[in-house]
Structure 1
Amino acid sequence: MKQTILFTFLSILLSFQAISGQSTSIKKGVITDSVPIGPEGSESMAVFLPKDFSMEKKWPVLFVFESEGRGRQAIGMFQEAAEKEGYILAAPNNVRDSLAIAQNMLVTNRMIDQFTAMLPIDVKRMYTGGFGKGGQLASLVPVFLPKLSGAVVSGAALPTLEVLNDKKPFYFIGIVGKRDFNYPLLRETMDQLDRKKYPNHLFVFDGGNQWPPKSYLEKAFQLFTLEAMEKGVIPTDTTFLENSYDFQLIEVRQLLQKNELLNAYSQMEDLLQAYGGQMELDSLKNEIKKLKKDSRFRAQRREEKNTFFQETLRKEDYEFYLEEDIATYNYNNLGWWKFQMESLDKLEQKDSENSRDLAARLRAYINAYIEDYILIVSREENVDEEALLLLQMMKTITEPGNPEYYLAVISQSAKLDDYGTALFYLEELLKTGYRDQEVLYNLEHTALLRITPEFNAIIAEYFKDARYEIIEE
């Protein structure tokens, strides 16, 4: 493996000869996509090197995962934090959520081995990260590849705790929005990791299933660095300890001011676990004791437990009725789904922030659950067309502002020669304000539907013209 450093007036490029024989240059401070790896360069990865990168020292690395193998996109969200905290980033372009876990692990292991041979990587400071399904995969990599020391996962929880090896724990950092349906699950996951003696930290931000503010990614990198100091992998830096602790403590103060006592308590407990071995934190311990006695804290804890209980019951109802409806093609139960969404609308109108967050999580959960079901049904060798149609109809109820599923119902109904249903959903779609006539006239399976007088009459009513003339008899 040939490695050279090319010095230029404006930048420094790292150039190496890949296995495929192709020469690839990696510029510092920017993302380099499609760096060849794998057998004869058949695979690739995206790479980011901090601006002050040099070959003279070993560097920590975060391997980032994205469910569709879009390495550049995955790295982009971590880039700013990695630059600030001094981490290299690498993301495989050949890992897919649709592949078997064993195949993904083979690709990942191959990438890690080749990457550590290319660059001066501190093999005791290798971590994984990702969002959503990519985050789930990232959380499994340290389980199957113990050479990884930790994972930072946003918008997802560990898929299962049964595969964890208690003898080889890794640092798990979760980041989640309060309105993300993964929030209760991550809370539960952290409790179980505590019982398994796995080091862990949970950051909760004000949002849904979305990338967190970049400050949380910076904090995650700092916690990885802190753990490396505590383990003696790198020398202890007192200035870093004090500055990072103060940075982490800012959020605790803000949470206390906003009366978000549960989250503040969780953060203080995690900070005590993370910094307690290297700093004197008597004041923090006293604050924790004081907060536990606060009646407002106890009331919020009771309310959250009650909310999580209600949430679990509703989720179980959603799962039960969805499976029942699909198994029996129960179109008559669409009214029940509409009622459920209306009840969530009412929850969102309440003064209680807890109720509004609950409504947002439940709405996101049922939409994600139906979407997963659609994906499963559509990937079957013999697609159940009726089940697929019913699922698409449900989505027009649970996500009425998304035209994708109205269009899918129109197309699927026309495919099944159910023009009455197709016309009904066409008009329902147009009532929402949808006006892309070109899409409507090119919708799959609707060639015969589009030339019917009924179709063109609806188009003429909402667009003031129709492509085909309506002949009155």
Structure 2
Amino acid sequence: MKNVFCFTFLIKKLLLVSFFGLGYIYCTAQHEFTKSVVIDSIAIDNGESFALYLPSSYNKDEPSPIIFVFDPAARGTTGLTPFLNVSEKYNYIVVCSNNSKNGPLEQNLEIANRLFNYVFSNYSIEESNMLVAGFSGGSRLATTIAVLTNKFSGVIACGAGFSSVPSHTPSTQNFSYVGICGNEDMNYNEMLKNKGFLQRLNFSSTLFTYNGDHKWPPNEQVNRAFRWLQNKKIKDSVLISQNFELDFNEAEAFYNSGEFLFSAEVYDRILASYKGFVPLNEVNEKYSSLINSKAYKKEYKSLQDALAQEGKISKRLFDRLYGDFLFPEKVNFSWWKKELNKLEKLNADGSFQLKKMVSRIRFNLFAAVYSRKNARLHNSSSEQISLSNKLQKLIYPN
């Protein structure tokens, strides 16, 4: 007889999450769907639904690993798409809620709870091999779920870090945390800071950065993250050596193309991931030579200078933005045009890192302005909504 695996929320003054029991549920009336095809809407009894992908190797009679995905705009199929390759390669079921989206945390946790209960009741799930992933606000939700339950083996956090609630921050939990973030993403600086924070805690974590902005990462970035997660579990020396070769070649390719920050990031991850498994003398030498080179130091300093400037500019712009939303009838649009023109000049005449910085600031402003029209997040007046529309056109004229 199979054990029962149950997920439930208990909400009092603070939200608490607990798992009861061990093992998994196997339901004799378990649904059967076509494998290797995205099913965009599987109905849950209360009218909610989720998107589903079953890999070609799926067997309803055996427990399967699973990835629960959360998209900030409740786009189930969109949330599944970055994980289709790893689903097939590593045999993961992938599900993504069609209802969870940016908004009150309690509502999203309740939606997640109903999704979990349905999936655990209808699919045979491998308890020790569950991942939770998300993008932007969905990333913050995914990390919160992993922290509060401590029942997931890993988190794939794309384009955003933790929620603003301190108790939702990883600390002593057992899961591995992998961040993925483009260097034009508005949350890039946040993800860099989170990386340092988790390293100081000796938390099992890493961060993959790439040339990109605030959107779901492409498949190749998810593949990189999965390789790192799999290295945390596998004992096969042949597979570890193969993964090492892939990572080493990646670091070399970045170096040869002059992308020294990316190369150093990969070398650093190799040294942390493969210690005790493969000889690392050559990697140590290459990494040391790289980070002590003039080219790397110049690019690193350029990044740090851009991040410092980003903080100052963002504070000035957001202080003004918050004040303008308090008094939307008194907004000085000439001030905004002047400040946005300054950004455009930096973008035209600045260094590579300054151009990335401008992209981050511009999108961050746009996201803040756009969110004011989200009734789940703000109770905005008609004047504030009108201001949002006007500022959006100034930030992105085209």
TM-score category of the 2 structures, normalised to the smaller one: 0.7 to 0.9
Equivalent residues of 1:33, 1:72 under 8 A apart: yes
Corresponding residue of 1:348: 347
Corresponding residue of 1:175: 180
Gap change, CA 1:60 and 1:248, over 3 Å in 2: farther
Corresponding residue of 1:5: none
Q: Please give the per-residue CA displacement for 1:356-407, whole angstroms capped at 9, x wherever unaligned.
A: 1111111111111211234369952xx5333332332222211211xxxxxx
How far apart, in 1, do the equivalents of 2:228 and 2:327 lie?
A: 50
How far apart, in 1, do the equivalents of 2:47 and 2:216 lie?
A: 31
5+ long unaligned stretches in structure 1 = 2-13, 19-23, 230-235, 402-473
Corresponding residue of 1:394: 391
How far has the Cα of 1:89 moved from its partner? 0.7
Equivalent residues of 2:142, 2:155 under 8 A apart: yes
How far has the Cα of 1:169 moved from its partner? 4.1
Corresponding residue of 2:36: 29
5+ long unaligned stretches in structure 2 = 2-25
Gap change, CA 1:364 and 1:153, over 3 Å in 2: same
Q: Normalising by structure 2, what TM-score?
A: 0.85
**Paired residue secondary structure (2:312):** helix
How far has the Cα of 1:165 moved from its partner? 4.8
Corresponding residue of 1:247: 246
Q: Which amino acid aligns with 1:398?
A: I
How far apart, in 2, do the equivalents of 1:392 and 1:266 lie?
A: 39
* Structure with higher RCO (Cα < 8 A, 6+ apart): 2
How far apart, in 2, do the equivalents of 1:334 and 1:298 lie?
A: 40
How far has the Cα of 1:209 moved from its partner? 1.4
How far apart, in 1, do the equivalents of 2:236 and 2:204 lie?
A: 21
Gap change, CA 1:226 and 1:122, over 3 Å in 2: farther
Corresponding residue of 1:92: 97
Q: Please give the per-residue CA displacement for 1:229-279, whole angstroms capped at 9, x wherever unaligned.
A: 3xxxxxx22232122222223331122123222222122212222222433
Decide which of 128, 137, 148 is 1:144's aligned counterpart: 148
Q: Please give the per-residue CA displacement for 1:192-224, whole angstroms capped at 9, x wherever unaligned.
A: 111122111211121211232211111222222
Q: Please give the per-residue CA displacement for 1:89-123, whole angstroms capped at 9, x wherever unaligned.
A: 1123332323x323432332343344345333221
- In our comparison, the structure showing a higher alpha carbon Rg is 1
Corresponding residue of 2:11: none
**Paired residue secondary structure (1:124):** strand
How far apart, in 2, do the equivalents of 1:350 and 1:126 lie?
A: 47
Equivalent residues of 2:135, 2:160 under 8 A apart: yes
Corresponding residue of 2:124: 120
Corresponding residue of 2:78: 73
Q: Please give the per-residue CA displacement for 1:9-37, whole angstroms capped at 9, x wherever unaligned.
A: xxxxx99636xxxxx43111112343344
How far apart, in 2, do the equivalents of 1:389 and 1:156 lie?
A: 28
Equivalent residues of 1:82, 1:218 under 8 A apart: no
How far apart, in 1, do the equivalents of 2:166 and 2:195 lie?
A: 14
**Correspondences of 1:252-267 after superposition (within 5 Å):** 252-267=251-266
Q: Say if 2:305 is the partner of 1:334.
A: no
How far has the Cα of 1:353 moved from its partner? 1.2
Corresponding residue of 2:29: 17
How far apart, in 2, do the equivalents of 1:398 and 1:377 lie?
A: 23
Corresponding residue of 1:288: 287
Q: Please give the per-residue CA displacement for 1:277-299, whole angstroms capped at 9, x wherever unaligned.
A: 43332322222222232232222
Q: Which amino acid aligns with 1:35?
A: I
Corresponding residue of 1:404: none
Q: Please give the per-residue CA displacement for 1:143-196, whole angstroms capped at 9, x wherever unaligned.
A: 122101211122222234722252214211111111111111111110011112
Corresponding residue of 2:371: 372
Gap change, CA 1:265 and 1:33, over 3 Å in 2: same
Q: Which moved more, 1:248-257 or 1:362-371?
A: 248-257
Q: Normalising by structure 1, what TM-score?
A: 0.72
**Correspondences of 1:208-247 after superposition (within 5 Å):** 208-229=213-234, 236-247=235-246
**Paired residue secondary structure (2:233):** helix
**Paired residue secondary structure (1:53):** coil
Equivalent residues of 1:45, 1:91 under 8 A apart: yes
Q: Which amino acid aligns with 2:152?
A: L
How far apart, in 2, do the equivalents of 1:384 and 1:90 lie?
A: 37
Equivalent residues of 1:26, 1:47 under 8 A apart: no
Q: Which amino acid aligns with 2:230?
A: T
* Pairs aligned (count): 374
Q: Which amino acid aligns with 2:115?
A: M
Q: Say if 2:62 is the partner of 1:50.
A: no
**Paired residue secondary structure (1:219):** helix
Equivalent residues of 2:237, 2:277 under 8 A apart: no
Decide which of 70, 81, 87 is 1:82's aligned counterpart: 87
How far has the Cα of 1:74 moved from its partner? 1.4
How far apart, in 1, do the equivalents of 2:376 and 2:228 lie?
A: 42
**Correspondences of 1:289-308 after superposition (within 5 Å):** 289-308=288-307
Equivalent residues of 1:136, 1:153 under 8 A apart: yes
Gap change, CA 1:188 and 1:254, over 3 Å in 2: same
How far apart, in 2, do the equivalents of 1:393 and 1:68 lie?
A: 23
Q: Which amino acid aligns with 1:194?
A: Q
**Paired residue secondary structure (2:56):** coil
How far apart, in 2, do the equivalents of 1:354 and 1:50 lie?
A: 40
How far apart, in 2, do the equivalents of 1:261 and 1:72 lie?
A: 35
Equivalent residues of 1:125, 1:228 under 8 A apart: no
Structure 1 segments, 4+ long, off by >6 Å, are: none
Decide which of 207, 211, 236 is 1:206's aligned counterpart: 211
Give me the identity figure in percent.
23
Corresponding residue of 1:155: 159
**Correspondences of 1:381-460 after superposition (within 5 Å):** 383-401=380-398
